[in-house]
Amino acid sequence: MHSETRSYRTGGRETVRDLTADCAGFVDGRGDGLLHVFVPHATAGLAIIETGAGSDDDLLAALGDLLPADDRWRHRHGSPGHGRSHVMPALVPPYATVPVLGGRLALGTWQSVCLVDLNVDNAEREVRFSFLGDGAGAGQERGER
């Protein structure tokens, strides 16, 4: 297994950030296996969706409808509606797993791996990439674990 943690700045607004290029770079040449992506935060998640055609904005709109940023939440510190960010990972989990074949992500044509963050109070996010594989890829040749 090989793991790496990367930091991302999500800014002070709700966002869907495409991580697919970083995922692809991480698994490049590693052989067959699984990429597991994990966000160690209580207020962020990962989604595999289409991006660039409005689906990312649609996801944020749907989450806004399901989890409004108002004063209904019992978890009340931070910005108004912050409690909804703590509920979101039940709908958009903090993990995703993608098959890797020949060192390439086996995603569908329109699928992207995206970080989803509704928490405007925390602009820095960490994402852990882990490759679990057969050991036939370039990572093993370099002596990585």
* Domain presence at residue 139: no
Specify the pLDDT at position 145.
37
* Domain presence at residue 140: no
* Domain presence at residue 6: yes
Task: Name the band, by pLDDT with cuts 50, 70 and 90, for residue 12.
Answer: confident
Q: Which two tokens stand for residue 136?
A: 């036939």
* Domain presence at residue 82: yes
Q: CB count, 10 Å around CB of 94? A: 19
Q: Enumerate the β-bridge partners of residue 38.
A: 95, 128
Print the domain residue range for 98: 2-134
* Domain presence at residue 27: yes
- Strand positions, DSSP E, the chain: 2-9, 15-18, 33-38, 44-49, 95-101, 104-105, 112-117, 124-133
Structurally, the chain folds into a number of domains equal to: 1
Residue 87 has φ and ψ, to the nearest 5°, of: -90, -30
Specify the pLDDT at position 78.
80
Specify the pLDDT at position 55.
95
SS3 at position 109: coil
Q: What is the CATH number of the domain that holds 18?
A: 2.60.120.460
Specify the pLDDT at position 135.
63
Task: Name the band, by pLDDT with cuts 50, 70 and 90, for residue 142.
Answer: very low
pLDDT tens-digit profile of 55-80? 999 999 999 999 998 888 888 788 87
* Domain presence at residue 101: yes
Task: Name the band, by pLDDT with cuts 50, 70 and 90, for residue 136.
Answer: low
Sole residue written with tokens 């966000």: 39
pLDDT tens-digit profile of 81-132? 889 999 999 999 999 999 999 999 999 999 999 999 999 888 899 999 999 9
* Domain presence at residue 145: no
* Domain presence at residue 141: no
Task: Name the band, by pLDDT with cuts 50, 70 and 90, for residue 140.
Answer: very low
